[in-house]
């Protein structure tokens, strides 16, 4: 057990280290120096006066937001003596499973590479560079031959791996009883039960106003809305990340959402950020990566065919191609159970000095990956800001949806949470579905992996993502299918929403109507 | 034997399933035009015959048709512009505040049609305007054609030499409508979304012109160009870039049969609210409603307000990058062909809701009815403007509530501010 003081000082030390040398640091220093010219700053009380100045000029708030952001992203250190892999993933069997999964993906990628005789990376000839630069804003009109490429994996492949996960230390031999878990996930992870969920997600209770919930709410919607907008504007004026995060738990008004999300994720699109994005863009122009073709293919298969997102096809290339080359994304591997794949310069296999991460950001896209970016296009139309918002969303949330870990927001826990909720809350439905050979997780898995992007109308998807940001957790995804108000327990207010338009779902909507809960 | 009396007898010369399915689902009976019919969904050629001086015939009280006899006052590009210009001048003459002009002489509230001239008649006036702005681009459209046929862009006077010659010799040559063109200032700063140009197609149902009663279909859509928009002059010839007509886009390389390059108006609203804010978005939509109503008011005095008629128009509107909407044209026969599954559903529902309003209760019509359907049958339509109700609220209501002149639209907007009742799955 770590005593609270130790934990706190470790955290402080880590945050100080991370913020040292950041642009915020130099800006604060600069501001402090500028303030020396001000009459209210007196030599006798220099330190206090500067502190006051930073407070009134809003710079303290910026520092607060940066600290808050660090706290949200990095988990608290477990123990000073714990090895770094414990921050990635404390459970050994999970680490092992993730390692094997990664090996499989890399093997798949390498064999595609060999089959097609395409290098993983190569420099573009100057003429091609020129052409790409001209076409930068309309890469969607390009029609490269992608027929030989296939996605490295699809969500269903990943589900098979998760279904076979077992904890070797856990004896599962006892007779199945009413307590056994009847779903696909058979690992004994701790997930929240309904009373805990009710407490943690208290803002979603029936007695509290919401945006985007049906009008059976007890709070009259119009009254709530006007007041909520007013409060939102105030939160934005204060520029307080923590307040914004609390606020969006009840949903964002459309007009305020873009700014609120940027405030929560602490994205301000400074000149150096724009410069960084431009640098990534020039990397794209100069070098061609194999994963680029995977990205093209994915966009063409998913977003280009989507009623809502086809319009933004070109933006998706501009974001994802840059994302693949962004080495700052490698930072997130310190707290992700995943490890970036390594590749070697041609002819130097196994020689560590010639090892590079591949792709440079360590993230191999899978089928549907581009749908993580698409909804953000409704909010941000400036490429560098769109890019930063996506990158931050990825390193805070989305990475957990396609890696194996025991984290409460990891996909394994979400699956288990979903199955547990369903089994507890709608047992008849659950047993019935199992009976007809339709494990509910098989259908809802791909929705959760995509954070519902492409499966919900955009306005509702954004309301869902409001809550992800608000609670800094993906658990809401498990509950989405049971509607936000499932925690209210009143009969008839919970239902399982399976789209009847889905080929596998056709049977199930029929069933859910005949089952009572 | 079965009693057929009481069932509406329908005819159509447009073989489209969205129409026929709607008639059949109401249990209406198909007949030919030579028999006794109650409802005739006709093409614009047919309406010409029905009401023509030579071949026309009188309609009886239990017969309805889907066009006004002289709809072309609104739906022919040259006549629409002519009527709007006349309307503005009349308002100016009577000193109406609606006709107020700004310091540059532009109408503040009524400048919603791009500068337009008829060719060859106004050739000289056009040249004068062109020379004020020699780098401008203009769009030439034949008056009598649809689906983007015969349209081309010009940016040099030499490209329309032909009409200059015609104008000089026009005094004795009667213009057949085939040769008449309109030339309008091309909007070269359209609002782009995702870098793509688009236009808006909105459906407006008019049940009577005097008093004016019109409804707007809530489910309009945006039509995106499949090719990236560039204002560069080298692309002037590439019609895929400039014209958003689906008929033209369908043949482009990038046309997609799932979404057909179409977006719902609600997507547009969500995007604009999220990126530009609620006030400017509301203002834009209010302006769109405004220009539709003004265009109808402009032609109302010259329309033959035949009681047997109703009409569903397809309004084409372009939004520029300052979020100002421009009326491009009005179609009397909006396409009933479906390019995607979503499209088919939309048009089916459009016809359904239109019939519910135009033929109350689906029963044999009586033209003498007051054309005031109850709210419940409106379906996806909402009242855009009801002159009778507006007048009962006071004569200067027009200006006071210029941004929300209808009794229905603004009120509804507050209520359907995007709160879905059920989770919307795709």
Q: Write out pLDDT tens, residues A95-144.
A: 999 999 999 998 888 888 888 888 888 899 999 999 999 889 888 877 77
* Range from A222-226, A450-454, B119-123, B237-241 that averages highest in pLDDT: A450-454
Residue of A230, A236, A310, A450 to mutate, interface with B, max B Cβ within 10 Å: A310
- Smallest Cβ distance to B275: which of A307, A379, A497? A379
Residue-by-residue DSSP string for A160-200: HHHHT---TT----SPP-TTS--SS---------HHHHHHH
- pLDDT confidence of residue A98: 94
Strand order in the sheet with B64-65: B29-30, B9-12, B39-41, B64-65
| Summary mean pLDDT of chain B | 82
Does A73 or B286 have the greater pLDDT score? B286
* For residue A487, pLDDT beyond 70: no
The answer, yes or no, to whether the previous bond of A415 is cis (omega within 30 of 0) is no
> Is residue A190 very low, low, confident or very high in pLDDT (cuts 50, 70, 90)?
confident
**Alpha-carbon distance A381 to nearest alpha carbon in chain B (angstroms):** 7
What is the tens place of the pLDDT at every residue in B265-292? 999 999 999 999 999 999 999 999 999 9
d(CA A439, CA A182): 9
The ipTM value here is 0.86
**Alpha-carbon distance A305 to nearest alpha carbon in chain B (angstroms):** 6
* For residue A81, pLDDT beyond 80: no
d(CA B79, CA B332): 13
Q: Which of B185, B182, B197, B189 has the alpha carbon at shortest distance from B243? A: B197
Residue carrying structure tokens 């699109």: A269
d(CA A30, CA A18): 19
8 Å CB contact of A258 and B224: no
- pLDDT confidence of residue B366: 86
Number of alpha helices (DSSP H) and beta strands (DSSP E) in chain B? 14, 16
Q: Which two tokens stand for residue B1?
A: 């034997």
Query: What separation in angstroms does the CA of B52 have from each of B61, B135, B316?
Result: 19, 45, 28
d(CA B1, CA A502): 46
Residue B351 CB coordination number (10 Å): 21
- pLDDT confidence of residue B302: 96
Domain at B191-395, CATH from 3.90.1010.10, 3.30.1360.170, 3.30.470.20, 3.40.50.300: 3.30.470.20
Quick one: CA dihedral B200, B206, B209, B210, positive or negative? negative
> Is residue B120 very low, low, confident or very high in pLDDT (cuts 50, 70, 90)?
confident
Residue of A213, A307, A386 to mutate, interface with B, max B Cβ within 10 Å: A307
**Alpha-carbon distance A230 to nearest alpha carbon in chain B (angstroms):** 13
**Alpha-carbon distance B357 to nearest alpha carbon in chain A (angstroms):** 28
Q: Would you say A341 and A364 are in contact if contact means Cβ atoms under 8 Å apart?
A: yes
Give chain A's end-to-end CA distance (angstroms, integer): 43
- pLDDT confidence of residue A502: 32
Residue carrying structure tokens 């909105």: B202
* DSSP state at residue A453: B
Q: Would you say A467 and A397 are in contact if contact means Cβ atoms under 8 Å apart?
A: no
* For residue B42, pLDDT beyond 80: yes
Q: Would you say B155 and B233 are in contact if contact means Cβ atoms under 8 Å apart?
A: yes
Residue A337 CB coordination number (10 Å): 27
* For residue A167, pLDDT beyond 80: yes
Q: In B6-106, which ranges are continuous DSSP H helix?
A: 17-25, 44-51, 72-75, 77-93
8 Å CB contact of B426 and A456: yes
Chain B residues with CB-CB distance to A143 below 8 A: 253
Q: Which long-range contacts (CB under 8 A, 24 or more apart) does B45-49 make?
A: B46/B13, B47/B71
Q: Which two tokens stand for residue A470?
A: 């608000």
Q: Would you say A59 and A4 are in contact if contact means Cβ atoms under 8 Å apart?
A: no
- pLDDT confidence of residue B68: 95
Quick one: CA dihedral A259, A262, A266, A268, positive or negative? negative
Q: Which residue of B has its CA nearest to A261?
A: B274
Q: Which residue of B has its CA nearest to A313?
A: B194
**Mean of the pLDDT values across residues A182-197?**
84
8 Å CB contact of B270 and A378: yes
* For residue A179, pLDDT beyond 60: no
Q: Which two tokens stand for residue A406?
A: 């025991």
φ/ψ of residue B220, rounded to 5 = -80, 180
- Smallest Cβ distance to A138: which of B228, B281, B422? B228
Q: In A351-457, which ranges are continuous DSSP H helix?
A: 383-396, 411-425, 427-435, 440-449
Chain B residues with CB-CB distance to A138 below 8 A: 195, 228
* For residue A206, pLDDT beyond 80: no
Q: Which of A458, A465, A72 has the alpha carbon at shortest distance from A265? A: A72
**Alpha-carbon distance A227 to nearest alpha carbon in chain B (angstroms):** 14
Minimum mean pLDDT among A36-45, A201-210, A286-295: which range? Answer: A201-210
Q: Would you say B169 and B163 are in contact if contact means Cβ atoms under 8 Å apart?
A: no
Q: Would you say B293 and B214 are in contact if contact means Cβ atoms under 8 Å apart?
A: yes
Question: Pairing state of beta strands B181-185 and B138-142?
Answer: antiparallel
> Is residue B246 very low, low, confident or very high in pLDDT (cuts 50, 70, 90)?
low
**Mean of the pLDDT values across residues B333-354?**
88
- Smallest Cβ distance to A499: which of B194, B281, B425? B425
Minimum mean pLDDT among A206-215, A258-267, B61-70, B344-353: which range? Answer: A206-215
Give chain B's end-to-end CA distance (angstroms, integer): 47
| Summary mean pLDDT of chain A | 83
- pLDDT confidence of residue A343: 77
Question: Pairing state of beta strands B192-193 and B152-154?
Answer: unpaired
- Smallest Cβ distance to A255: which of B193, B256, B278? B278
Q: Would you say A153 and A363 are in contact if contact means Cβ atoms under 8 Å apart?
A: no
- pLDDT confidence of residue A484: 38
d(CA A213, CA B423): 9
Q: Which residue of B has its CA nearest to A214?
A: B421
Chain A residues with CB-CB distance to B275 below 8 A: 258, 378-381
Q: What is the CA radius of gyration of chain B?
A: 22
- pLDDT confidence of residue A390: 98
Q: Please enumerate in sequence order all residues whose Cβ is within 8 A of that of A508, keeping only pairs 6 or more positions apart, or say none.
A: A433, A438, A440, A443, A496, A498
- pLDDT confidence of residue B135: 85
Q: Which residue of B has its CA nearest to A306?
A: B259
d(CA A387, CA A375): 12
Question: Pairing state of beta strands B39-41 and B64-65?
Answer: parallel
Chain B residues with CB-CB distance to A497 below 8 A: 422-423, 425
- Smallest Cβ distance to B267: which of A305, A381, A458? A458
Chain A residues with CB-CB distance to B418 below 8 A: 212, 254, 459
**Alpha-carbon distance B407 to nearest alpha carbon in chain A (angstroms):** 20
Q: Which residues of A377-408 are buried (b: 16+ CB within 10 A; e: fewer)?
A: bbbbbebbbbbbbbbbbbbbbbbbbbbbbbbb
The pTM of the full predicted model, rounded to 2 decimals, is 0.86
Q: Which residues pair with A344 in a beta bridge?
A: A355
Residue-by-residue DSSP string for A269-296: --HHHHHHHHHHHHHHHHEEEHHHHHHH
Percent of chain A with pLDDT over 70: 85
- Smallest Cβ distance to B267: which of A138, A212, A308? A308
**Alpha-carbon distance A78 to nearest alpha carbon in chain B (angstroms):** 40
Reported as type and span, the H/E element at residue B181 is strand B181-185
8 Å CB contact of A307 and B342: yes
**Alpha-carbon distance A458 to nearest alpha carbon in chain B (angstroms):** 8
* For residue B1, pLDDT beyond 90: no
Q: Which two tokens stand for residue B265?
A: 């108006």
8 Å CB contact of B423 and A455: no
> Is residue B242 very low, low, confident or very high in pLDDT (cuts 50, 70, 90)?
low
Q: Which of A293, A11, A336 has the alpha carbon at shortest distance from A139? A: A293
Q: Which of B12, B14, B17 has the alpha carbon at shortest distance from B347? A: B17
Residue carrying structure tokens 């995509």: A450
- pLDDT confidence of residue A138: 85
8 Å CB contact of B425 and A459: no
* For residue B178, pLDDT beyond 70: no
- pLDDT confidence of residue B230: 60
Chain A residues with CB-CB distance to B423 below 8 A: 456, 460, 483, 497
Q: Which residues of B touch A (CB under 8 A)?
A: 193-196, 224, 227-228, 253-254, 256, 258-259, 261, 263-264, 266-267, 270-271, 273-275, 277-278, 281, 342, 414, 417-426
* Range from A74-83, A341-350, B325-334 that averages highest in pLDDT: B325-334
Residues A410, A386, A372: CA angle, nearest 5 degrees: 35
Q: Would you say B238 and B199 are in contact if contact means Cβ atoms under 8 Å apart?
A: no
**Alpha-carbon distance B291 to nearest alpha carbon in chain A (angstroms):** 25
Helix (H, G, I), strand (E, B) or coil at B23: helix
**Mean of the pLDDT values across residues B253-258?**
67
8 Å CB contact of B423 and A460: yes
In total, the C-beta contacts within 8 angstroms joining chain A to chain B are 106
Q: Would you say A255 and B283 are in contact if contact means Cβ atoms under 8 Å apart?
A: no
**Alpha-carbon distance B199 to nearest alpha carbon in chain A (angstroms):** 13
The total number of residues shown for chain B amounts to 426
Residue of A311, A389, A446, A456 to mutate, interface with B, max B Cβ within 10 Å: A311
- Smallest Cβ distance to B275: which of A211, A258, A454? A258
8 Å CB contact of B274 and A378: yes
Residue of B190, B192, B195, B232 to mutate, interface with A, max A Cβ within 10 Å: B195
What is the tens place of the pLDDT at every residue in B183-226? 999 898 999 999 889 999 999 999 999 999 999 999 999 999 86
- pLDDT confidence of residue A157: 92
Q: Which of B50, B18, B87 has the alpha carbon at shortest distance from B349? A: B18
> Is residue A260 very low, low, confident or very high in pLDDT (cuts 50, 70, 90)?
very high
8 Å CB contact of B275 and A378: yes
* DSSP state at residue B320: B
Q: Which residues of A178-192 are buried (b: 16+ CB within 10 A; e: fewer)?
A: eeeebbbbbbebebb
**Mean of the pLDDT values across residues A348-362?**
80
- pLDDT confidence of residue A515: 31
Number of alpha helices (DSSP H) and beta strands (DSSP E) in chain A? 22, 4
Quick one: CA dihedral B49, B53, B55, B58, positive or negative? positive
d(CA B217, CA B353): 9
Residue of A255, A313, A460, A464 to mutate, interface with B, max B Cβ within 10 Å: A255
Q: Please enumerate in sequence order all residues whose Cβ is within 8 A of that of A490, keeping only pairs 6 or more positions apart, or say none.
A: A206
- pLDDT confidence of residue A77: 63
* For residue B415, pLDDT beyond 90: no
Q: Which residue of A has its CA nearest to B222?
A: A311
Residue carrying structure tokens 């200067």: B396
Residues B174, B178, B184: CA angle, nearest 5 degrees: 100
8 Å CB contact of B263 and A311: yes
């Amino acid at each position: 057990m770590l005593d609270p003081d130790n934990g706190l000082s470790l955290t402080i030390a880590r945050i100080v280290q991370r913020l040292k040398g950041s642009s915020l640091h130099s800006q604060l220093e600069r501001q402090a120096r500028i303030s020396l010219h001000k009459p209210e700053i007196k030599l006798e009380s220099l330190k206090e006066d500067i502190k006051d100045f930073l407070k009134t000029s809003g710079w303290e708030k910026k520092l607060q937001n940066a600290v808050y952001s660090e706290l949200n992203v990095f988990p608290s250190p477990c123990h000073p003596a714990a090895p770094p892999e414990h921050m990635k993933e404390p459970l050994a069997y999970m680490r092992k499973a993730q390692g094997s999964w990664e090996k499989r993906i890399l093997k798949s990628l390498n064999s595609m590479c060999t089959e097609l005789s395409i290098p993983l990376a190569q420099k573009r000839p100057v003429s091609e560079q020129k052409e790409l630069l001209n076409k930068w804003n309309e890469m969607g009109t390009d029609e490269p031959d992608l027929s030989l490429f296939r996605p490295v994996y699809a969500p269903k492949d990943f589900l098979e791996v998760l279904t076979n996960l077992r904890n070797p230390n856990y004896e599962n031999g006892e007779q199945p009883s009413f307590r056994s878990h009847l779903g696909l996930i058979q690992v004994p992870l701790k997930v929240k039960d309904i009373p805990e969920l009710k407490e943690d997600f208290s803002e979603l209770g029936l007695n509290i106003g919401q945006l985007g919930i049906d009008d059976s709410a007890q709070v009259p919607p119009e009254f709530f809305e006007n007041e909520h907008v007013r409060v939102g504007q105030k939160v934005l004026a204060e520029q307080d990340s923590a307040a914004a995060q609390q606020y969006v738990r009840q949903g964002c008004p459309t007009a305020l959402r873009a700014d609120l999300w940027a405030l929560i994720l602490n994205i301000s699109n400074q000149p150096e950020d724009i410069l960084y994005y431009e640098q990534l863009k020039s990397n794209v122009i100069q070098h061609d990566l194999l994963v680029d073709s995977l990205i093209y293919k994915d966009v063409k298969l998913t977003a280009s065919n989507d009623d809502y997102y086809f319009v933004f096809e070109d933006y998706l290339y501009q974001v994802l191609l840059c994302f693949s080359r962004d080495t700052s994304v490698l930072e997130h591997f310190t707290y992700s159970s995943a490890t970036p794949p390594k590749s070697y310069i041609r002819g130097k296999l196994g020689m560590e000095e010639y090892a590079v991460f591949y792709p440079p950001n360590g993230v191999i896209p899978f089928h549907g990956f581009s749908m993580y970016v698409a909804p953000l296009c409704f909010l941000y139309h400036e490429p560098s800001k769109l890019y930063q918002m996506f990158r931050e969303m990825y390193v805070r949330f989305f990475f957990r949806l396609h890696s194996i870990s025991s984290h409460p927001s990891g996909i394994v826990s979400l699956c288990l949470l979903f199955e547990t909720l369903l089994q507890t809350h709608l047992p008849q439905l659950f047993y019935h579905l199992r009976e007809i050979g339709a494990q509910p997780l098989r259908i809802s898995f791909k929705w959760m992996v995509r954070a519902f992007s492409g499966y919900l109308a955009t306005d509702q998807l954004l309301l869902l993502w409001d809550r992800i940001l608000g609670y800094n957790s993906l658990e809401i995804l498990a509950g989405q299918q049971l509607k936000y108000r499932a925690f209210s327990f009143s009969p008839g207010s919970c239902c399982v929403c399976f789209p009847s338009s889905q080929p596998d779902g056709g049977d199930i909507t029929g069933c859910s109507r005949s089952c009572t809960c | 034997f079965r009693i057929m009396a009481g069932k509406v007898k329908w005819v159509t010369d447009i073989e489209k399933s969205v129409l026929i399915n709607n008639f059949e689902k109401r249990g209406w009976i198909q007949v030919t035009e030579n028999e006794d019919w109650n409802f005739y969904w006709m093409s614009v050629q047919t309406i010409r015959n029905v009401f023509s001086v030579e071949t026309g015939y009188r309609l009886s009280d239990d017969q309805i048709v889907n066009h006004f006899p002289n709809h072309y006052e609104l739906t022919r590009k040259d006549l629409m512009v002519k009527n709007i210009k006349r309307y503005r001048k009349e308002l100016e003459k009577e000193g109406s505040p609606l006709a107020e002009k700004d310091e540059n002489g532009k109408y503040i509230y009524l400048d919603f049609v791009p500068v337009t001239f008829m060719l060859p008649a106004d050739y000289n006036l056009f040249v004068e305007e062109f020379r004020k702005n020699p780098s401008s681009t203009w769009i030439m459209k034949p008056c009598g054609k649809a689906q983007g046929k015969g349209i081309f862009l010009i940016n040099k006077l030499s490209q329309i030499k032909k009409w200059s010659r015609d104008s000089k010799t026009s005094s004795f040559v009667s213009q057949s409508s085939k040769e008449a063109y309109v030339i309008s200032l091309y909007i070269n700063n359209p609002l782009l979304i995702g870098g793509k140009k688009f236009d808006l197609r909105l459906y407006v149902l008019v049940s009577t012109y005097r008093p004016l009663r019109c409804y707007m279909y809530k489910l309009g859509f945006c039509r995106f160009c499949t090719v990236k928009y560039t204002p560069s002059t080298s692309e002037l010839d590439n019609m895929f870039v400039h014209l958003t007509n689906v008929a033209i886009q369908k043949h482009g390389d990038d046309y997609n049969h799932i979404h057909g390059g179409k977006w719902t108006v609600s997507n547009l609203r969500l995007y604009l609210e999220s990126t530009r804010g609620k006030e400017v978005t509301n203002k834009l939509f209010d302006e769109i409603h405004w220009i539709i109503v003004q265009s109808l008011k402009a032609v109302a005095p010259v329309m033959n307000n035949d009681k047997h008629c109703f009409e569903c128009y397809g309004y084409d509107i372009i939004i520029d990058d300052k979020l100002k909407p421009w009326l491009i044209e009005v179609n009397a026969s909006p396409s009933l062909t479906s390019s995607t599954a979503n499209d088919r559903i939309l048009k089916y529902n459009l016809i359904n809701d239109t019939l519910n309003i135009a033929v109350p209760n689906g029963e044999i019509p009586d033209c003498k009815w007051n054309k005031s359907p109850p709210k419940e049958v409106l379906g996806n339509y909402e009242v855009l403007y009801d002159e009778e109700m507006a007048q009962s609220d006071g004569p200067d209501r027009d200006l006071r509530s210029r941004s929300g002149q209808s009794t229905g639209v603004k009120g509804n907007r507050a209520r359907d501010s995007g709160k879905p009742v059920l989770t919307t799955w795709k």
